[in-house]
Amino acid sequence: MGNHVKAAGGNAITIGSGVFGGSRLVNNMDNSLMVGFNSDIPTFLVSGAPGPGTTGRIAIGSAIVAPHYKVFIRNDFDQIGLWSKTATTDQANAGSLSEALLAVKKSIGAVGNGFTTGLQAVGIRGWGTGSSETAIGGEFEASFAGIANIGVCAYAPDGNMPDNSPDCAAFFDGDICGTGDDLYNLSDVKFKQDIQPLTQATELLSKIEPKTYRYRKEDYPQIALPHGLQYGMIAQEVEEVIPEFVKDKIYPSRIDKEGHVKSEMVEFKALNYGEFIPILIQGFKEQQAEIERLNESLEAMKTLLDQYGVDELPEPVQLEGGSERVVLQQNHPNPFREKTTISYFIPGSIHRANIIFFDQSGKMILEKPVDPGQGSIEVFAHDLSSGLYTYSIVADGKVVETRKMNVSK
């Protein structure tokens, strides 16, 4: 019915008009109703029902209906596929309500698919504006699930993207607030491989420089950057130490309802602060181990002092009426690979003197008696393992001086 139209399918009806002097509006679908004006593409198409107790499908802007959707909308360039608006009341309004019930596997109330080779594809977009109390762009609720209720479920599959791609399952411009107690991340051992103990955490932390700073809000007004003084790290600096903690991300371009670009895309580096937790835990454990080692060294030194009847470390021994004192020189060479020499001087008034060697744990490994006067002893590397040692000179039961010695084989 109309001008320049044709109903080619069985029991097909076409209403409207084709393009004057051009293509006709043709309905090739059996048992269907097509409506359109001044175009070869229908504005509205209703398909036939599969059988008794069922209903057909609806297509808007398409000559065919989508096989898996009850309503299929194909919008032209610079158009919005579906716009729903309700009048203002003092209660609750819904511009669009979609409900799916009694599916065997999955019920989907609403599906949005944004596909384009252009600037940006958005499946579903929501605005909350003009509210006297709270504006909410999108509200989701999950209930009555047999296993788990999930209010929002977002996916960003890796596909063939590189490891450092800016993919995000969710992106929020502003603070994230919640009433729950915990934020859980996947950590099950069944998903992990190549598991190794974490070591040298203290060394890693020593290379990280925390900073205070303020965000350049005036240079990036489109981004909801935090106000005031901030505490944290600089992503580029952390990337030099632990590159796995940093990823390249993007702030998406902002496009209004008419398709106009409001702000351009911004590339930036993002830092995973949560990854510092195992580093901090291991660093704490390493520091505790170092504290325990130092305590053991202190106890070993106290034991040595007790053996000589000394309660505390004294000042260097000074003879009455004279300027002579006990001298312990730094070993030379230091570090050493084969042997090193330690020179010393013991005044004649000293009755007994020893040079005692300790390993890194504070354990005494060697004791050599020395005679009064100028002298030296040799220490050979083959008697020791590589590492740091200390040696002290004890004169008449008093630890006079202590130095460090480094064996490097």
Burial of 242 (0-12, 13-18, 19+ CB in 10 A): middle
- Other Cβ atoms closer than 10 A to 279: 18
Predicted TM-score (pTM) of this structure: 0.56
**What per-residue confidence (pLDDT) applies to 320?**
41
Q: For residue 119, what are its two tokens?
A: 């600037």
Max CA-CA distance within the chain?
131
The full set of domain ranges for the chain reads 2-73, 197-271, 308-407
d(CA 396, CA 308): 8
3-state secondary structure of 131: coil
**What per-residue confidence (pLDDT) applies to 318?**
46
Q: For residue 274, what are its two tokens?
A: 């949560």
Q: For residue 276, what are its two tokens?
A: 């510092």
Relative to beta strand 33-36, strand 13-17 is parallel
**What per-residue confidence (pLDDT) applies to 207?**
94
What is the enclosing helix (H) or strand (E) of 79? none
- Residue 397 gets the label, from left (phi > 0), alpha (psi -120 to 50) or beta, of left
CATH of 308-407, one of 3.50.50.60, 3.30.479.30, 2.60.40.1930, 3.40.50.620: 2.60.40.1930
Three-state SS string over 271-326 comes to: ECHHHHHHHHHHHHHHHHHHHHHHHHHHHHHHHHHHHCCCCCCCCCCECCCCCCEC
d(CA 350, CA 356): 17
Cα 140–Cα 141–Cα 146 angle in degrees, nearest 5: 140
d(CA 268, CA 85): 37
| Residue type at 130 in one-letter notation | G
**What per-residue confidence (pLDDT) applies to 74?**
76
Relative to beta strand 71-73, strand 211-213 is unpaired
d(CA 329, CA 180): 65
**What per-residue confidence (pLDDT) applies to 90?**
52
Tens of pLDDT, residue by residue over 164-179, are 567 777 778 888 888 8
Q: For residue 159, what are its two tokens?
A: 């596909």
Residues 100 and 94 sit within 8 Å (Cβ to Cβ): no
d(CA 378, CA 381): 10
Three-state SS string over 317-345 comes to: CECCCCCCECEECCCECCCECCEEEEEEE
**Regions in the chain scoring below 50 on pLDDT:** 101-104, 310-322
d(CA 14, CA 26): 7
**What per-residue confidence (pLDDT) applies to 168?**
75
**What per-residue confidence (pLDDT) applies to 223?**
92
**What per-residue confidence (pLDDT) applies to 22?**
81
**What per-residue confidence (pLDDT) applies to 406?**
92
**What per-residue confidence (pLDDT) applies to 143?**
78
**What per-residue confidence (pLDDT) applies to 161?**
56
d(CA 272, CA 239): 11
d(CA 366, CA 384): 10
Burial of 235 (0-12, 13-18, 19+ CB in 10 A): middle
β-pair partners for 7: 27
Q: For residue 224, what are its two tokens?
A: 């909801």
